[in-house]
Structure 1
């Protein structure tokens, strides 16, 4: 959504009181969700089997395939005659092929891979492949062009910046690595720390209470930027200041009525302190 076209020039810049800390969600705040998914779907189709084979005997993969198998049988009960992950008595190649069939079916059901999801075995496997590709330089985090200069500006204003994401997964501390591997270079130096939605669910008020305590900062000194109205409402209920980010390539459809109760921006550089 183009905020200028939808809401007029009054929405071009948002004047806010300078916070002590800014907390950023990942997708559609600093990186494109649609680009991530489209690139990853193709990469997964071409590389998932190799990734399974390379990690097949590792503890994390054995546990994950066990969970994936159980999930596939639950899906069969819910959806009917669907692909399942073969039992452990089958050959490794047969099980791996069954994993690919099951993931292909999930792709059709879900309408796309969800590397940002916190739950389910198939999403965990997708994230592991995604992080593996990123850390090996095969894929990069596609950062919106306005982000680096804004992060640099906030740093110069002594504002601390934290990334709040669900990217930590398995043996990989994904949150801390993602910003090392972007299309615009290593941005990790602009971040003071990371919060993990697996440990601090973004739709729980308790998470924002905990965030404030860990930062040792009053809630009204924290500014939270996200694409989710629900997350905005939960964070606001605890006293945290919020901004709704509506990127032009965002997947959600917002009306003027939807957005009017919120402070909303289309790009990070529209915020002025």
Structure 2
């Protein structure tokens, strides 16, 4: 299903809970699903599903840090891990993807020789295909799984650190205190998602996250993907879920599935159509 239940249980949802304010006083806050109409904001969502790139994290981090790191280290990664079961599975997925790409006439796809041709020749073909996939920013499982494995090495070696917007950690902590379950849905692999949020410029944020979805649940621009997510989360109705993204087509697909949707307006994000009808935010503090 593309869902990763990797974080501890956050405990039972209570109707009200005291939250320690900045001045040390205890504040009473409305819990998820309760009517917050006194504040003019309506009922709070039971679940929030977050995109990463352009929503929690600057596009520049993904485009200028993560992608180049994977591209520059793919050959080294294959050479160092070639015989491991994990890398052999990555190669199997890439072979299948490239075979399909060749049939479809996808630009940049080159045949991957059999193992009989020798390790170096196989790796050279793999690198050529992966570089073309990264350049085209393809949202395919074979590439995303491999990138996650390469990034894992970067995070373990302290060569990479995840980046989130300044307003994100406080919002995650607030939603957690309100009993709202927060999930990530990204085209990046679940491993990559855990890496990004596990070691950020604000520390480990995974304690505020209840699960991770990736493209194995479906393409982010297809309505069926959001129907699957809603069914997986077990909400009474899809509108109990608030989905935040910076991509107009993803917003359209999620809305068609019945989810509440807001679009994130951040520096560097692609401009929205003039006639769009979605609520927009420039910071999580507006939610």
TM-aligned CA distance change 1:220 to 1:254, over 3 Å? closer
Q: Does 1:239 align with 2:258?
A: yes
Shift in Å, 1:180: 0.9
Structure 1: any 5+ residue segments left out of the alignment?
1-13
**2: CA distance, partners of 1:147 / 1:192:** 16
Shift in Å, 1:49: 2.0
Quote the residue 2:189 is aligned against: 168
**1: CA distance, partners of 2:173 / 2:219:** 28
Q: Does 1:268 align with 2:287?
A: no
Shift in Å, 1:88: 1.8
Quote the residue 2:229 is aligned against: 211
- Of stretches 67-76 and 198-207 in structure 1, the one that deviates more from structure 2 is 67-76
TM-aligned CA distance change 1:158 to 1:54, over 3 Å? same
5 Å-filtered alignment, 1:99-118, equals: 99-108=126-135, 110=136, 113-114=137-138, 117-118=139-140
- 2:241 corresponds, among 222, 242, 245, to 222
**2: CA distance, partners of 1:195 / 1:66:** 22
CA distances 1:4-42 after superposition (whole Å, capped 9, x unpaired): xxxxxxxxxx95542122111122111122321211343
Shift in Å, 1:107: 4.6
Aligned residues: 246
SS of match in other structure, 1:224? strand
- 2:213 corresponds, among 171, 176, 195, to 195
CA distances 1:138-193 after superposition (whole Å, capped 9, x unpaired): 21221111111111222232322111224336xxx444443212122100111122
TM-aligned CA distance change 1:230 to 1:155, over 3 Å? same
Q: TM-score, normalised by structure 1?
A: 0.76
TM-aligned CA distance change 1:50 to 1:16, over 3 Å? farther
Q: TM-score, normalised by structure 2?
A: 0.72
RMSD across aligned positions (CA): 2.9
5 Å-filtered alignment, 1:86-125, equals: 86-108=113-135, 110=136, 113-114=137-138, 117-119=139-141, 121-125=142-146
- Of stretches 132-141 and 29-38 in structure 1, the one that deviates more from structure 2 is 132-141
Higher relative contact order (CA 8 A, sep 6+): 1
CA distances 1:19-71 after superposition (whole Å, capped 9, x unpaired): 12211112211112232121134323442222111210122322432443454
Shift in Å, 1:89: 1.7
